Structure 1
């Protein structure tokens, strides 16, 4: 029986507007346990009217835990006449991880993309030298950088210019080692957090439990919130909508990570 194929390109979590209006062609999404799966991360299927969901790479969508499978099935069941992939962040993360499990060609690119956020990391930048903003940044961001350096044995410095200087070889090796130690499922979650928070440092701290979710969202938005207060032409509805999407994606990535290893005797 032919599976339901989700057609969108790999790792284009932001650029999916062309697929926003895919019409819903199923009645119900359900969860089914795999029989003797080869990969321990592919133990639970999400099915639409009994048909397997497949990625564009034609890999069957299967996840490590029944809780994660149930949450993704709920995302499908909440869809109306047309599917909105922006409202299905867990499914998006799962299909990225699945495709990486079958073809790791893009893994190095994802790792480098996460590290590249250091070039404009919100924790490091002091681009606006207005004294009030600079004081807020020093009070709230400097302690996070100090914590990060202390926890991981690094000496990354803040930047007063447009871009930070090159990382020392020692710091680069340590960050690369942290990221390369993640499995594919953890990696796609970290990538989503780094993209949305605009911070490699915050995303790593969040994944290690060194900062809570709400604080991470607040810290990544300090400069934007400061500018809102002094800019009269700001469109609050547009800005709030973007903030909500960022919050939803970061929360989803955090939930995704926690559900990778969840198991339950109820299933």
Structure 2
């Protein structure tokens, strides 16, 4: 029983690709497509997720399977929707909204610790440093951050350069963090999964530090953030390593 999940090597367009067999049958995605990934490490990791299932299949316990299927079924067939879903977070990026230090010195210090270097670094990719707003009031720009034209164009140029695997991972991290910059940092390996989790949860962890952890809410959010960021990071490491080997 424990050996019924396995990874198998294929050749697609002359390149090595990997699939998974369940009880001798090739795994398919929810849309009915063949489950084929470019990384042996990713295939074995997904096979391990299947091996851990019991009588009832629990998709929530298979984050890598979910991400891979998203890339195959959705991103590959509607890349534009994925691109726009990522870019829509930039005009209101969480990391650009800063508390006034006079109002909350502790939170301001934590934001600076997790976000300042990320914004400065992002200028290398985007062509300019993203704008910031200090305090609660946002004026002008239709309720959006006053990023420069270079930032918006640089972000779109970067996102459009990605393959379906990196694009899917970027979307996962961006949505979880409500921040394009955090997703960018993880995708370019400027942020480790651990650092990305910290950057994504600055304000939440600050509030927990004050009011305590609400069981069934805050602990669930922590766990979900960990799962999403680490899964996205793993997908990136597997597929980017594969891409380097065949460029």
TM category, shorter: 0.7 to 0.9
The equivalent position to 1:173 in structure 2, one of 120, 131, 153, is 153
Is the counterpart of residue 60 in structure 1 residue 50 in structure 2? Answer: no
Q: Which runs of 5+ in 2 are unaligned?
A: none
Aligned counterpart for 2:9 among listed residues 21, 33, 42? 33
CA drift at 1:151: 4.8
Distance 2:204 2:220 in 1: 14
Quote how far apart the aligned CAs of 1:139 are: 4.2
Partner in structure 2 of residue 107 of structure 1: 79
Please provide the CA RMSD for this pair. 2.5
Alignment partner of 1:91 is 2:65: yes
Show CA shifts across 1:217-255 (max 9, x none): 1122111111123336x5145311221111111111111
Shift in Å, 1:61: 0.5
1:119 aligns with 2:91: yes
- 1:105-254 mapped onto 2 (5 Å cutoff): 106-126=78-98, 130-132=103-105, 133-160=107-134, 161=137, 164-231=144-211, 234-254=213-233
Measure the CA separation in 1 of the matches of 2:235 and 2:87.
21
CA distance in 1, matches of 2:126, 2:237: 22
Question: Normalised by the size of structure 1, how large is the TM-score?
Answer: 0.78
Cα distance in 2 for residues equivalent to 1:220 and 1:95: 24
For this pair of structures, how many residues does the alignment match? 233
Change (3 A) 1:185 1:79: same
Distance in 2 between residues matched to 1:78 and 1:209, nearest whole Å: 29
TM-score by length of 2: 0.84
Deviations 1:121-176 (A, max 9, x none): 22111267732223432344222212212454213111233654254332211110
